[in-house]
Amino acid sequence: MIVGIIRLRVRLPGNHSLKGKRRVVKSLIGQVRSRFNVAVSEIALNDVWQRAEIGISTIGNSQPIINSVLDKILEFIERTCLVEVIDTDIEIINMGK
């Protein structure tokens, strides 16, 4: 089993309230979850208006497929223009015997 994880730090330019931030982050999380069938959650910076940290994970049995899915997720997020990607950490864990 291969586990793929993305820790994504984003900026929400022009956002001036937590309510506005939550609307954008919730929309992005919903789009990623439904399009790629992965686990997605806001994991940090919950009370900061213009930044968010989002965790994304998926599992499978092929490292090239997991890499491809994670790359497609990052491309999709950048294309949505909802947020500005500041930093990404990608980790692939092989849970083999």
What CATH number does the domain containing 51 carry? 3.30.70.1120
Strands (E) in 1-97, as ranges, are: 2-11, 39-44, 51-60, 84-94
The residue written with tokens 């992005």 in the block is 28
The whole-angstrom separation of Cα 12 and Cα 82 is: 7
Give the range of the structural domain holding residue 59, as residue numbers without chain letter. 2-94
C-alpha 84/C-alpha 24 separation (Å) is 12
The residue type at 75: E
Q: Alpha-carbon distance 21 to 6, whole Å?
A: 20
Q: Are 88 and 6 in contact (CB under 8 A)?
A: yes
Q: Structure pTM?
A: 0.88
Q: How many domains does the chain have?
A: 1
pLDDT in tens, 34-85: 999 999 999 988 888 889 999 999 999 999 999 999 999 999 999 988 889 9
